[in-house]
Amino acid sequence: MSTTSTPTTADELNLSTIFFKLRTRWYYFAASLVLFLAIAYFVAQLLPVRYGFKSTLMLADRATGSRHAQDLLTMEAKDRETKVEDEIGILTSAGVVSQTLRGLDFGVSYHVVPDIWVNALRPLKTQEVYGAESPITVKVDTTAPQVTGVRFFVDSRPDGTLHVKAEGKRVAVVQFTTGHMLNTVEDFAFERTVAPGQAVQSPYCNFTIESTIPGVAPQLTGKAFYFVLHDIQGLTEEYQQKLTIKPIERLSRVLSITTQGAVPAKEIRFLNALMNIYIVNDLTEKNRDGHKAVAFIDSQLGKVGDSLRRSQAAVATFRGQRGLIDAGQQTNADLQMRGQLENERARAQNARMAYQNVLNLLRASPDGDAVSSATGLGVEDPVLNSQIIELAQLNSQKAGLAVGASENNPVLQVLNNKIKDRRAALLRNLTNLIVSADATLRSYDQRLGAVRSSISQLPENERQLALLRNQADVNDKNYTFLLQKKTEAAVTLATNSSDKKVVDQAAMQSADPLPPHPQQLYLISLVLALVLPAGLIMLMERANQTVQSVDQIKSVTSVPFLGLIADAGKAIKLVRHELPKSAVTESFRTVRINLQYVSGGAQQKVIGFTSAVSGEGKTFCCTNLTAELAISGKRTVLIETDLRKPTMSDYFGFQARRPGLSSYLKGDITLAEAMQQSEHVPNLDILTAGLIPEDAVSLLESPRFHDMIEQFKREYDYVMLDAPPVGLVSEYHILRQYIDVSVFVVRHRYTQRTSLQHLQELVDSSHPTAPAGQVYVLLNNVNFHDTYEYHYKSQAAYYSV
């Protein structure tokens, strides 16, 4: 047994109904298509042509360059990784981008206005030119205030002068080099005629216009040309928004740098300059620590050199004055031991001095930045060296980030916390090392005391000479050590290089412009032209609270459905006479048959027509159904009981002010005088409302009206009552006692669904002589061509006779 599911009939009907509604409103789609295609064409004409540009930069994964200099100075270093996210932040920072733009001539942009139809009223589409493509060059006085963002239109005069004109609303006046706003000009107007090379000076702009080709006057006639001044802050924000930097792969250290723009030469220059500035800044930052270390070593060399010269001079002077010679072997052994101990003590003393110097530098620097310059003082403790290097790294990162970040930057705050922790740890380590060095020095002092005791018996002159020699040897070794470190640092700085390098110079990514392309705009406009009208139509259908179909009537009330009447147009009155072969005439025939069927009994002659409100076509339906009954051979009388707003005279061409029902009920005329006949409909007598009375309710409640109805029931096959709307006045409830069959007229796409409650009230409040089943609903004014349920009936006219 197959389990394949098929769409239900309701689903198919819903889809068919939706497509039918969309198809009948084809003009929505036609208008939308024309509108959106016109918009797409206009936007395509204004769309600037932009290209993509790309360059590639590689970052190192370990310490190189001046970091190697630190390795030589400290003799031990810790590998440090370069964080890709941090480097991307530096590259896109306002400081680096601003520094790059300051070295480029982007402060003035030049534009040509093409002679095309979109520029007929005002220059909407322009083309930027750069370098030699511009006939003029504007040199800005960067020390004076300048207006920015204003178009200065320039054209040349026959005498070789240049006419400059500019206008603007709420124009910003800024300091050109910094971008700081000075004030705002509400209505800026500038017009001046100057010669090429002549300075233009005003309170808000100061510049000089020169020819791009020296000695050749600029030719600007025949085309609109203008230039715009840009401050550095605005340019920085513009290029930061266009700049995109990301690794070529997730863990890669090769960065892809992209931007976009309309002038290839400018964008390529910017990318290349950005990478060059970044590399130069990196090398400068690395060399800064090396230069600090060399300067610190120079200062220490001066001090040690002075000590060495004084100790050597003291040895020479002492020996010359005393005429001393070398002592014996034992004396030499003791003196050598003392010299060895003194050398070791001197090294310990130097180490403590180095620790103390670093500690002093650290205490003098709140963030520990000065400690990086003391890494070459002979500190050989690996842990201390590692801590010094790590603190120097953090300060270097902070210096790079602080260029374009504020104090509240989260990354900067994290770096400050790390620097604070590393500085505290370094302080503790230095304190411990100084305490340990002090203990070592005390040990050396004890051992030296024993040796000195051993040689205390030596002649005083020999002992003093040995002391002077030992002091000279210590100073000589210290001086030699510092000279060696200075030489190594100088060589490293001379050969230093950045660990970043350009992999690919900037170039266009493709010769094709960036999206959106005109074809894409047309495709989008086509989709919108189809989707938006469809959505609007469905929304209108959803929001429409009028009666749209028979199913909606049946969902609100249980009143039986009598039939439907086709749309006849506003000017049609008697359809059998005016439109004998039409769908509306055929629909009245069908309803007449249904009406005769439901009122076929001899006691069901009185048929009343009403509606919820005025304008729903109850008179139209009542009149034409009465005509159909009369033409079918039934003797019929039509009574217009709507005494407040009579309109039936228009249907038969009667005199509007002729006395009728109201006059008869008052007793002014006889019934025979009130009755009229139609020349187009046989077997039909008509009693119009006549003159409008003051109290229609009392007339309909009079015994005279009751006797008239009883007389008509005896003389006619059908008594048709055109009653007032049940939702507006109370007359219909008076007439209900005479009515055998009630027909409630609902106008298609006019009657509100909430008005159908009056239809249900007719059923709920039925008169005992008129059962609830004798109330019927008639749907009027149905456009078969515009209604999916009954569009097949639009062909009914072909079968009418």
- Select the more confidently predicted residue: 599 or 64: 599
Predicted local distance difference test score (pLDDT) of residue 676:
93
The pLDDT, as a whole number, for residue 729 is 74
Q: Which domain holds residue 368?
A: 277-503
Confidence (pLDDT) at 576: 85
Residue 702: inside a domain, yes or no? yes
In a domain, 223, yes or no: yes
347 & 227 share domain: no
Q: How would DSSP label each residue in 768-779?
A: TTS-GGGEEEEE
Extended beta strands in 620-689, E state: 636-640, 676-677, 684-687
484 and 589, same domain (yes or no): no
Predicted TM-score (pTM) of the model is 0.57
Flag whether pLDDT at 2 surpasses 50: no
Of the residues 471, 503, 535, which one is the last residue of a structural domain?
503
Which segment, 4-18, 551-565, 623-637, 772-786, is predicted with the most confidence on average? 623-637
Quick one: pLDDT at residue 12?
A: 46
Average pLDDT over every residue of 612-619 = 87
* 593 and 472 inside one domain: no
Long-range contacts from 626-630, C-beta under 8 angstroms, 24+ separation: 626/684, 626/718, 626/720, 627/574, 627/576, 627/678, 627/680, 627/681, 627/684, 628/576, 628/588, 628/589, 628/591, 628/592, 629/592, 629/595, 629/596, 629/717, 629/718, 629/720, 630/681, 630/682, 630/683, 630/684
The pLDDT > 70 percentage for the chain reads 84
Q: 318-322, 542-546, 683-687: lowest mean pLDDT where?
A: 318-322
Is residue 516 in a domain?
A: no
Are 282 and 347 found together in one domain? yes
The reply to whether 140 and 206 lie within a common domain is yes
Residue range 144-149: average pLDDT? 90
Question: How far, in Å, CA of 236 to CA of 233, rounded?
Answer: 5
For residue 486, give the nearest of 665, 301, 659 by alpha carbon.
Answer: 301
pLDDT at 731 over 70: yes
Whether the predicted pLDDT of 799 surpasses 70: no
Residues 372 and 330 in one domain: yes
- Residue 85 CB partners (closer than 8 Å, separation 6+): none
CATH of residue 712: 3.40.50.300
Residue 157 lies in a domain: yes
In whole angstroms, what is the distance from residue 227 CA to residue 668 CA? 94
Residue pLDDT, tens place only, 764-789: 665 544 444 488 899 988 886 665 55
In a domain, 92, yes or no: no
Q: How far is CA 321 from the centre of its chain?
A: 93
Q: In the predicted model, is pLDDT for residue 217 greater than 90?
A: no
User: CA of 315: how far to CAs of 237, 269, 331, 459, 460, in Å?
Assistant: 70, 67, 18, 16, 14
User: How many beta carbons lie within 10 A of that of residue 396, not counting itself?
Assistant: 19
Same domain, 20 and 118: no
Tell me whether residue 29 is in a domain.
Answer: yes
- Is residue 366 over pLDDT 50? yes
Secondary structure of residue 738 in the 3-state scheme: coil
Q: How many domains does the chain have?
A: 4
The answer to whether the Cα torsion of 165, 174, 228, 44 is positive or negative is negative
203 belongs to a structural domain: yes
> Using one digit for the tens of pLDDT, what is the confidence trace for 647-656?
888 888 888 7
- Same-domain status, 532 and 557: no
> Inter-axis angle of helices 232-242 and 94-102, to 10 degrees?
120
Quick one: 282 and 204 in the same domain? no
Cα–Cα distance for residue pair 761/301, rounded to 1 Å: 115
Query: Mean pLDDT, the chain, as a whole number?
Result: 80
pLDDT at 83: 83
- Residue 678, Ramachandran bin (φ over 0: left; ψ between -120 and 50: alpha; else beta): beta
Instruction: Give tens-digit pLDDT for 443-476.
Output: 888 888 877 776 665 566 666 767 777 777 887 8
pLDDT at site 1: 42
Is residue 346 domain-shared with residue 281, that is, in the same domain?
yes
Is 250 a residue whose pLDDT tops 50? yes
Q: In this prediction, what percent of the chain has a pLDDT beyond 90? A: 19
Answer yes or no: is pLDDT of 78 > 60: no
Q: What are the tens digits of pLDDT across the range 252-286?
A: 889 999 999 989 999 999 999 999 999 998 888 87
Kindly state whether residues 614 and 647 are assigned to the same domain. yes
Least confident of 320-324, 717-721, 758-762: 320-324
Beta-strand runs (E) in 195-311: 199-201, 206-211, 224-229, 244-247, 254-261
Among 543, 572, 592, which residue terminates a domain?
543
Return the higher-pLDDT residue of 588 and 418: 588
Looking at the fold, whether 674 and 794 belong to one and the same domain comes out as yes
Q: Does 688 or 800 have the greater pLDDT score?
A: 688
Last residue in a domain, options 264, 295, 328: 264
What is the pLDDT at residue 5?
41
The pLDDT value recorded for residue 285 is 80
CB 663 within 8 A of CB 670: no
pLDDT digits (tens, 9 = 90+) for 93-128: 999 999 999 889 888 999 888 877 777 777 778 888
| 403 within domain boundaries | yes
Residue 572: pLDDT over 90:
no
